[in-house]
Amino acid sequence: MTAGLWQNWVLPGIWITVQLLVYSAALAGVVAFVVGMARTHRSRFVRFLAGFYTEIFRGTSALILMFWLFFVLPPLLGWQLVPMWAAVLALGLSYGAYGAEIVRGALNSVAPAQREAGVALSFTPGQRMRLILLPQAIPEMLPPFCNLLIELLKGTALVSLLGVGDVSFAAYLVRLATQESAQIYTISLVIYFVLAFGITRSMKALEKKTKSNIGVAISGGGAK
């Protein structure tokens, strides 16, 4: 593969993939926490709405949703999404539904005595969530969130079907230009592996930091 192909297609493709990952992960994170916390809400109606959202977006294909946002939604609303943002919306909404279950499970894993302690201290539900439940639940969320991020990274390859110039689309163009599949697809595998490895190491460091912070807080409270 020539330097021109690398500079004009592969490197920009890596940058597009990273952008897709960051934007989709940000949207998925917001959706995961909002919907996941709603699934533990006292109101049955709120829990129903959150559960309905989760089931809908877990049960539909991210690729078909991407096509729907790009091809079906514009005639209905009268405006067109650019492929990049159609992809971000589809990936963020879909993977956010999976993340919501991670958040719900982690919140429910906190010992009931911790909730009761918050009630005894006259904390509001928001204070109990912010000061008691989330600090203990977040470290438990990080390992499954790491797996979800890696799945999201691999899911970004779907955007090549909309003509977005990510790593997969760049590999397709290079293969057409050179008629060589082995080299470019091997390089693509390595690129995805390096990105996934970076995510894994970053999330492990974050998990270690959050758990050590909780340990300091607990030991400090015990000393008092």
Backbone angles phi, psi at 181, to 5 degrees: -90, -40
Residue 220 confidence (pLDDT): 38
Residue 221 confidence (pLDDT): 40
Contact between residue 132 and residue 181 where contact means Cβ atoms under 8 Å apart: no
Divide the 224 residues of the chain into consecutive groups of 10 and give the mean pLDDT of each group.
Answer: 78 94 97 95 94 94 93 86 92 96 93 84 84 89 95 94 90 89 93 96 90 55 37
Q: What is the pTM of this model?
A: 0.88
Residue 114 confidence (pLDDT): 84
Residue 26 confidence (pLDDT): 97
Residue 1 confidence (pLDDT): 63
Q: How far apart are CA 64 and CA 88, in angstroms?
A: 13
Residue 218 confidence (pLDDT): 39
Residue 219 confidence (pLDDT): 38
